[in-house]
Structure 1
Amino acid sequence: MLFTVVSAHSGCTEQPDYVIRNLNTIRSIYNITVYPNNLPIIQKGASAVPSGLFNKNAAGRISPVGNFTGFDDSIEYFFALAPTPDTNPGKVAIYEAQLVEFTSGCPEVASSLVYLRTGVIDKKTNKVDLSKPTTTLAQVAFWKFDDQGAVLNYHAWIPNLQTWTEVGNNVDFDNVVIQKAVPVQLCPQIMQNCKGDNQQYSSVATCVAALELKPFGSFDEAWGDNIVCREIHVLLTKVRPEVHCPHVGPKGGSPPDNWKCVDIDYSVDYFDDSQLFGMPLGSTFTCGAPLL
Structure 2
Amino acid sequence: MISTFLCRAVFLLSAISGTVLASDNSTDFVERNLHTIQSIYNLTVYPNNVPIIQNGGSAVPPGLFNQDARGRVTPVGNFTGFEDSIEYFFSLAPTPQANPAGAAIFQADVVEFTSGCANVAASVVYLKTGPVNATTGQVIEGAKTTALKQAWSSIATGVDYTNVTIQQGAIATALCPGIQDRCTGANQQFNTTETCIAELSQKPFGTFDEAWGDNIACRTIHLILTGHRPEVHCPHVGPNGGNGPDNFKCVDIDYNEYLNDALLFGSSEVFRC
Higher strand share: 1
Cα deviation code 1:74-98 (max 9, x no counterpart): 1012110101123223221101111
CA distance in 2 between counterparts of 1:38 and 1:248 reads 23
* C-alpha deviation, 1:122, in angstroms: 2.2
Q: State which of 128, 150, 159 in structure 2 corresponds to 1:171.
A: 159
CA distance in 1 between counterparts of 2:179 and 2:61 reads 29
Instruction: Extract unaligned runs of 5+ from structure 2.
Output: 1-25
Higher helix share: 2
* C-alpha deviation, 1:238, in angstroms: 1.5
1:134 match: secondary structure = coil
Question: Is 1:52 paired with 2:71?
Answer: no
**Contact 1:35/1:94 (<8 A) preserved:** yes
Instruction: Extract unaligned runs of 5+ from structure 1.
Output: 1-14, 138-160, 288-292
Q: How does 1:135-284 map to 2 (within 5 A)?
A: 135-137=146-148, 161-183=149-171, 184-266=173-255, 268-279=256-267, 281=268, 283-284=269-270
* C-alpha deviation, 1:235, in angstroms: 1.2
1:24 match: secondary structure = helix
**Contact 2:99/2:156 (<8 A) preserved:** no
- Give every structure 1 segment of 4 or more consecutive aligned residues whose post-TM-superposition deviation is greater than 6 Å: none
Q: TM-score, normalised by structure 2?
A: 0.86
| Residue aligning to 2:29 | 18
2:226 match: secondary structure = helix
* C-alpha deviation, 1:202, in angstroms: 1.8
CA distance in 1 between counterparts of 2:136 and 2:113 reads 32
Same amino acid, percent of matched pairs: 60
CA distance in 1 between counterparts of 2:261 and 2:92 reads 23
CA distance in 1 between counterparts of 2:70 and 2:113 reads 21
2:127 match: secondary structure = strand
* C-alpha deviation, 1:43, in angstroms: 0.8
Q: TM-score, normalised by structure 1?
A: 0.80
Alpha-carbon RMSD: 1.6
Q: How does 1:25-36 map to 2 (within 5 A)?
A: 25-36=36-47
Paired letter, 2:185:
G
2:146 match: secondary structure = strand
